[in-house]
């Protein structure tokens, strides 16, 4: 068989070489993780994406169909075997193609622990959505109706918060979160129902910095699943915990 990778990727300039160095940006080898709302794997599944007669290695997020969007992140994977489902990526470089899209190149070790490549297979709650953010913002709460900021408010019982001190409506009161700290390499969209009308959410692959908290949050009916998980990459591992676990154990 002719190498399909050679055929497809040959015209693409490799950023590990001269072109990349010219921009002062080396393509380092990072650890790769996969996170499904609280569940962390130290590898990511590379699937086979069919382009004509070729089966090309790629990490895909989201899904195909109306109201949905499949995000495709090409992977250069020399020993890729489309016949098996055991093509995993543990380390990779990030390259930018001339199209402006990113691709990953399989590597055999971690060279730079300042960032990690993370595949977020974040689900959505029933008839709900999801979000990827940074840590809780110390600025506390704001009201999406009267636009006032209220600082930290105490929960009444359990996880329930009082209403906006001005409007009195709890539904308008939202906690502020810092923006998602990672650089997004590709985005996809999952959904429920015809044309995604019942609910939809994002799945992403991102380059996430070390020692910075990030979070996945689900809305909709969760059937007992925690709505939010907080994470931190310490250079080697990713720790996942709920807010209560972070508080109880004094974690990050
Ligand atoms: Zn208000």
Structural domain boundaries, residue 158: 137-176
Alpha helices by DSSP H, listed for 149-242, are none
* Whether ipTM exceeds 0.90: yes
What is the distance in A from the centroid of ligand 1 to the CA of 4? 58
Mind listing the pLDDT tens digit of every residue in the chain (252 residues)? Answer: 344 444 444 334 444 444 444 344 457 999 999 999 999 999 999 999 999 999 999 999 999 999 999 999 999 999 999 898 889 999 999 999 999 999 999 999 999 999 999 999 999 999 999 999 999 998 888 888 888 888 887 776 666 677 888 888 777 888 889 999 999 999 999 999 988 889 999 999 999 999 999 999 999 999 989 999 999 999 999 999 999 999 999 999
- The tens digit of pLDDT for each residue in 81-93 reads 989 888 999 999 9
C-alpha 216 – ligand 1 centre gap (Å): 26
Domain boundary among 121, 146, 176: 176
What pLDDT is stored for residue 186 in this prediction?
98
Query: Does one domain contain both 64 and 98?
Result: yes
Ligand 1 midpoint to CA 169 (Å) = 7
Distance in angstroms (rounded) separating the CA atoms of residues 207 and 178: 17
Distance 146 CA to ligand 1 centre (A): 4
pLDDT (tens digit per residue) in 129-156: 999 999 999 888 888 888 888 888 777 6
Residues 158 and 192 placed together within one structural domain of the fold: no
CA of 173 to the centre of ligand 1 (A): 7
Å from CA of 151 to ligand 1 middle: 13
One domain, residues 184 and 169: no
Q: What are phi and psi of 239, to 5 degrees?
A: -100, 130
Q: Tell me the chain's radius of gyration from C-alpha atoms.
A: 20
DSSP letter (8 states) at residue 22: H
110 in the same domain as 32:
yes
> In this structure, are 150 and 40 located in the same domain?
no
Residue 177 has a CB neighbour count (10 Å cut-off) of 19
Distance from residue 89's CA to the centre of ligand 1 (Å): 47
Q: State the sign of the Cα–Cα–Cα–Cα dihedral 45, 12, 92, 251.
A: negative
**Cα 139 to ligand 1 centre (Å):** 16
Ligand 1 centroid vs 168 CA: distance in angstroms? 7
Would you say the C-alpha torsion 236, 240, 244, 249 has a positive or negative sign?
A: negative
Tokens representing 237 are 């591992």
């Amino acid at each position: 068989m002719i190498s399909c990778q050679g055929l497809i990727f040959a015209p693409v300039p490799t950023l590990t070489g001269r072109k990349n160095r010219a921009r002062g940006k080396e393509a380092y080898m990072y650890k790769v993780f996969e996170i499904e709302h609280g569940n962390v794997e130290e590898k990511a599944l590379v699937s086979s994406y069919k382009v004509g007669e070729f089966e090309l290695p790629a990490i895909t997020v989201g899904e195909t169909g109306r109201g949905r969007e499949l995000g495709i992140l090409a992977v250069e994977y020399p020993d890729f075997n489309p016949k098996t489902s055991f093509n995993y990526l543990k380390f990779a470089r990030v390259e930018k193609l001339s199209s402006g899209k990113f691709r990953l190149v399989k590597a055999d070790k971690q060279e730079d622990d300042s960032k990690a490549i993370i595949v977020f297979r974040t689900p959505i709650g029933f008839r709900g959505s999801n979000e990827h953010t940074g840590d809780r913002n110390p600025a506390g709460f704001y009201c999406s109706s009267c636009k006032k900021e209220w600082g930290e408010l105490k929960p009444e019982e359990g996880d329930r918060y009082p209403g906006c001190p001005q409007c009195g409506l709890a539904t308008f009161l939202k906690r502020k979160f810092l923006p998602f700290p990672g650089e997004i390499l590709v985005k996809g969209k999952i959904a429920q129902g015809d044309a995604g009308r019942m609910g939809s959410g994002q799945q992403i692959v991102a380059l996430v910095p070390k020692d910075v908290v990030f979070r996945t949050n689900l809305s909709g009916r969760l059937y007992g699943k925690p709505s939010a998980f907080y994470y931190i990459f310490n250079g080697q591992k990713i720790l996942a915990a709920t807010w209560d676990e972070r508080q109880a154990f004094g974690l990050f």
